[in-house]
Structure 1
Amino acid sequence: MTIAPYACTPAASRGRRHPEEESAFRSCFQRDRDRIIHASAFRRLKHKTQVFVEHEGDFYRTRLTHSIEVAQVARTISNALGLDLDLTEAVALAHDLGHTPFGHTGEDALDALMAPFGGFDHNAQTLRIVTRLERHYAEFDGLNLTWDTLEGIAKHNGPVAHPLPHALAEYNAEHDLELHTHASAEAQVAALSDDVAYNNHDLHDGLRAGLFTEAEIAELPLVRDAYAEVDRAYPGLDPYRRRHEALRRVFGYMVADLIDTSRARLAASGATGPQEIRDLGHPVIAFSDALWSDLKAIRGFLFARMYRAPSVMAQREKVTRAVNELFPIYLEHPDELPRRWQRDVEAAPDRAALARLVADYIAGMTDRFALQDHARLTGVDVLSDQT
């Protein structure tokens, strides 16, 4: 593989906040990736969901399987563009660590509860996890990832505007991640690989859940062409195989477009180093305008037919209740937090700091544990409304 001049390289990494001796066998970006995979928060993604509540079926994507899919897409694109595969993979694997139980539903509930204390943002929470909440190493809190990986995590959605989310502001005051600039090309690849993965797998999961039909999605841009291509190549194909072949082609269309468009934008940028990528003032990794328009149509369909489907909304209401009731219980009775959290409770200087600890604890819960803990503390099963 030929490394592009604008790629990040381990030798030019800005290093770690807490200096460490380098490994003889792994680059600094490989070590970042490995630390993320071994993190407790990464393992918990196994029982955190994207759209459906964890108990609803073993087939649907979880945050863990989604993160693995994002990393696979990101490595493919990064390789094609001559970027550093390990940095790309590290950012991709870490991007969802800060998600709450119950996906964006849990995040919305926790953000509302934390509004008097600075709010809650899952992307900022990811940074908080990898710089503070993971506590396994003797010499530092967090994972002590390189500046390059931390930057990619913090800027998952691009430059961060003021007012900064609480966790980002808190960390950035001590270790400047240059939040006003774009991230490296590797981090930009990881961010758009997220779009590729969830647009594809949400169509698949929605079909599996019976929220819409193949005939309905076959009218969508990209999907229409994919089904037509499959029917020409394999007339009379078994319906399940037909669906799989069509959706894998949709996946391929998105990846190919992203590679081709980004390659042209990178060439046009004239960038000869990673800092020039950051300072361009616009992203270099992007879909074409035509494909982006198609993706907006798919997103609109998924929003109406999946994310706001009556059955999904009914579950959203129930799990929102669980988060809304757990938060004040822990805030008023912090002794209910596990023993290893009590030192932080005692050290909390004010109610805002205590609320942030409670948010950290709830955000770290899996779907299953949040429901079990709510039932333990309230005596109510919110999914069945039974005591």
Structure 2
Amino acid sequence: MDGTAPLSDEYDPTSVERWAVEPDKRPGRTAFQRDRARVLHSSALRRLAGKTQVVTPGTRSQAWDASARTRLTHSLECAQVGRELGAALGCDPDLVEAACLSHDLGHPPFGHNGEQALNEFAEDCGGFEGNAQSLRLLTRIEPKRFVHSQETGELVSVGLNLTRAALDAATKYPWPRGAHPADPASPKFGAYEDDRPVFDWARKGAPGTRTCFEAQVMDWSDDVAYSVHDVEDGLHAGHIDPNCLHAEPEREEIFKVAIGRYVPADTDPAELSEALDRLLEQEWWPHGYDGSAVAQARLKDATSQLIGRFCLAAEGATRARYGTGRLTRYAAELVVPRAARHECAVLKAVADRYVMQRAEQERLRADQRIVVAELAEALTTRAPDGLDPQFRALFDEAGDDRARKRVIVDQIASLTDASARSLHLRLTMRPTGGGGV
């Protein structure tokens, strides 16, 4: 222990250990309160305000206004959902909130589109994965705590130096690249090879590739928040016509999007149809949304109802299996009923079909891929020119081309959508069609 207030018996001393031991400047706080505060005050969290959630911040759109979500607002909303659900199940609420605030920190500019482009560039140095980047940011890149290296004596960053339990709770995919327990070819993983020492430390005592209970709460809270809020934004922007959800051809297209992407490929479309009908039959569903103040209030109520519906379903099913005790770490699995997962998946597919698959969005995504690819090429040719001082120093210290390429990846991943375009323009002198306000 390092001077923090003791926790309940459900979190043992190894859960609150930090990679680098340090005293608490304010005795009396719990270790997880410190973790939450460190993530909340991080520059990485603030940068999420300028990163794509569904539609790129700052793009011209008469329908899409400043109230649309960014990755920052999504993370804050995910944290609120996760904190309450976790507390209801006996988790430490600060621990779950810290994990929810952390879960998207490593995502690059332009959302998953940017993630794919960076993964192609980084193929020969370990690939790129937003969740693995989050771990790297929490344990290495975000400048908060430095210690002297035992090997060289030089100061090295240990990032935010969060507790073992916080790092574990923020890890959706607790395995390195190529070690997915069911599909070795899966692009999802939680740690780069460079970060294996701290990853292995954080996973000390974990049973194989099983995620801890708090990470499962975070993951479901993430699903709930973005499925519900993306539909809310789509309705508010006029991209989703509520009447289409009753038309059979449109419903079939929605289910095609969901199957294989949001539910297993062998899912019966009839189950998804039943899930959508259950939602449409609710008294609070925002039928005939027209943007009026009354309709906006009904939409906001529907948002609250959906979040409560999904969280209570998971809470009830989990309690039915495990009883009323505190559920933490590896003592339980979050149980989400199949019906709730299908309803959540249908909402994701609705937003995907009517918001993300719009023609203007595909044109924008193509332009974004060009920006990332050209920016990576320009930095490879010109680095350390173009690198921020933090990454310039790391580039100069890197021992080989592979390590230098990883620094370039870290630099690009840290950029907002706007700063990526600005740096691209400075290094290539070629404007792109992404636009802005």
Q: Which residue number corresponds to residue 163 of structure 1?
A: 179
Q: What letter corresponds to residue 120 of structure 1 in structure 2?
A: F
Instruction: Find the partner of 1:362 among 397, 409, 412.
Output: 412
**Cα distance in 1 for residues equivalent to 2:357 and 2:286:** 30
Alignment of 1:248-267 (within 5 A): 248-267=304-323
SS of residue matched to 1:67? helix
Instruction: Find the partner of 1:73 among 52, 56, 81.
Output: 81
**Cα distance in 1 for residues equivalent to 2:328 and 2:16:** 14
Cα separation, partners in 2 of 1:361 and 1:222, compared to 1, 3 Å? farther
Q: Do residues 148 (structure 1) and 151 (structure 2) align?
A: no
SS of residue matched to 1:13? helix
**Cα distance in 2 for residues equivalent to 1:275 and 1:362:** 36
Deviations, residues 108-154 of structure 1 (Å, cap 9, x unaligned): 11111111221100000000001100123343430111111111222
Tell me the CA shift for residue 295 of structure 1. 2.3
Cα separation, partners in 2 of 1:243 and 1:159, compared to 1, 3 Å? same
Q: Which residue number corresponds to residue 281 of structure 1?
A: none
Cα separation, partners in 2 of 1:365 and 1:199, compared to 1, 3 Å? same
Cα separation, partners in 2 of 1:253 and 1:276, compared to 1, 3 Å? closer
Alignment of 1:133-144 (within 5 A): 133-139=141-147, 140-144=157-161
Alignment of 1:84-163 (within 5 A): 84-139=92-147, 140-154=157-171, 156-157=172-173, 162-163=178-179
Kindly tell me the number of residue pairs found equivalent between the two proteins: 370
Q: Which residue number corresponds to residue 358 of structure 2?
A: 309
Deviates more, 1:170-179 or 1:118-127: 170-179
State the superposition RMSD in angstroms. 2.9
Q: Is the contact between residue 226 and residue 247 of structure 1 (CA under 8 Å) also seen in structure 2?
A: no
Deviates more, 1:287-296 or 1:84-93: 287-296
Identity %: 32
Deviations, residues 12-33 of structure 1 (Å, cap 9, x unaligned): 6240111122451211111011
Q: Which residue number corresponds to residue 184 of structure 2?
A: none
Cα separation, partners in 2 of 1:110 and 1:384, compared to 1, 3 Å? closer
Instruction: Find the partner of 2:244 among 211, 216, 221.
Output: 216
Unaligned regions of 5+ residues in structure 1, if any?
A: 278-283
**Cα distance in 1 for residues equivalent to 2:160 and 2:403:** 22
**Cα distance in 2 for residues equivalent to 1:45 and 1:272:** 31
Q: Which residue number corresponds to residue 187 of structure 1?
A: 215
Choose between structure 1 and 2: higher helix proportion: 1
**Cα distance in 1 for residues equivalent to 2:103 and 2:279:** 27
SS of residue matched to 1:51? coil
Compute the TM-score of the two structures, normalised by the length of structure 2.
0.77
**Cα distance in 1 for residues equivalent to 2:310 and 2:216:** 15
Compute the TM-score of the two structures, normalised by the length of structure 1.
0.86
Tell me the CA shift for residue 343 of structure 1. 2.1
Unaligned regions of 5+ residues in structure 2, if any?
A: 1-6, 60-64, 148-156, 181-188, 248-275
SS of residue matched to 1:199? helix
Q: What letter corresponds to residue 136 of structure 1 in structure 2?
A: K
